[in-house]
Amino acid sequence: MCDFCYVLDAIDYRESYKHMSDTLWRVEFPVTPQTADAFEFALEPFFSVVTCYLDDEEKAVRIEAHNEDKPDLDLLQKTVETVAQNFSIKSPDISLSEIENIDWLAAYAHEHPPLAIGRYFIYGSHFNGILPAGKISLKVEAATAFGTGEHQSTKGCLMALERLSKRYDFKQPLDMGCGSAILAMAIAKTWGARVVASDIDPESTRVAGYNAEINGIGSYILPVCGNGYGTPSVLRNGPYDLIMANILARPLSIMAKDLSKNLQTGGFAILAGFLERDANWVFAAHRCQGLVLVERIKVNGWQTLVLRKS
């Protein structure tokens, strides 16, 4: 997922911060929107956090990656060169720098106030105001997991959920690639349904479970760690009438067949995590598996697809 903010889990943060280094290593370089996903995947083994930013004209992307330990620059350069060769482009110039490791939790609280997205109100533990009446409130701690509600894809998904809630009822939902479980919790609170929240990252499933507990819906969220639709708990609880998948264009397209197999006839899929220019590619992969387009939701250069299995 691009353009997200991260800090350590609020539960362990104050103690663990004492043992963190005073500096971080940052790598950054420019890439195109078409190659951003590939470079993100390539950097993940080297860094704890990888972020990409789209410029205002949606024409260029800057990749940033951070880690406490200094990366092996030679190996990193070879990895980046390999990705560039696969796209037949010149390898980008990598900038490596050492920066101050600031108090990320305090910075998050200062820079990221609560969000109101349709009927959903998203806030962190630093919020001490009054929760708005008539809203579905979601408390999401700043954590080492994807999903603080600020990314355009998350907004698009929440908008899709709100629109579907006006006409449909879901009883067997799945959030594939749940991250912090912000979307799984939104589903649970909207329909009162038990949601399977699956992610390949153990830290994400841990944070998902914690967030569900602090929102009082621990019994409604089943955090599952595994690799996609082949995970036993995912298979055992399907087929689903709603599948949420806010990931990336490439893995979404690869998993299209598995999504269709695990989606009930007449069921809905909400897909996000990609730029507008990649939306048709993602849709085509799912159209081949019997899903039809219900709606496109566009938010600042990103697109969310709402599909239905015919």
Q: Is residue 126 part of a domain?
A: no
pLDDT reported for residue 17: 35
Residue 304 resides in a domain? yes
The verdict on residue 116 lying in a domain is no
Both 183 and 279 in one domain: the answer is yes
Same domain, 154 and 40: no
Q: Are residues 58 and 185 in the same domain?
A: no
- Kindly state whether residues 95 and 158 are assigned to the same domain: no
Q: Is the pLDDT of residue 160 over 50?
A: yes
Phi-psi region of 28 (alpha: psi -120 to 50; beta: other; left: phi over 0): beta
Q: Which residues constitute the domain of residue 274?
A: 149-309
Helices (H), the chain: 10-17, 36-43, 73-86, 104-111, 152-165, 182-191, 202-214, 232-237, 249-254, 256-262, 279-287
Q: Give the burial string for 30-68 (b: 16+ CB within 10 Å, else e).
A: ebebebbbbbbebbeebbebbbbebeeeeeebebbbbbe
Do 65 and 175 share a structural domain? no
Residues 155 and 83 in one domain: no
Q: 8-52: per-residue pLDDT in tens?
A: 233 333 333 334 567 888 899 988 877 887 888 888 888 877 877
pLDDT, one tens digit per residue, over 111-141 is 557 888 889 999 887 777 888 899 999 998 6
In this structure, what CATH number is given to the domain that contains residue 280?
Answer: 3.40.50.150
CB-facing half-sphere around the CA of 253: CA atoms within 13 A: 13
C-alpha dihedral sign at 194, 162, 285, 302? negative
The answer to whether the predicted template modeling score (pTM) of the entire model surpasses 0.85 is no
CATH of the domain at 50: 3.30.70.120
Q: Does residue 96 share a domain with residue 161?
A: no
What's the number of domains the chain is made of? 2
How does pLDDT run across 50-71, given as a tens digit for each residue? 877 766 555 567 888 888 888 8
Do 185 and 252 reside in the same domain of the chain? yes
User: In this structure, what token pair is assigned to residue 47?
Assistant: 């860094």
Is there a single domain that holds both residue 64 and residue 193? Answer: no
pLDDT in tens, 258-289: 999 999 999 999 999 998 999 999 999 999 99
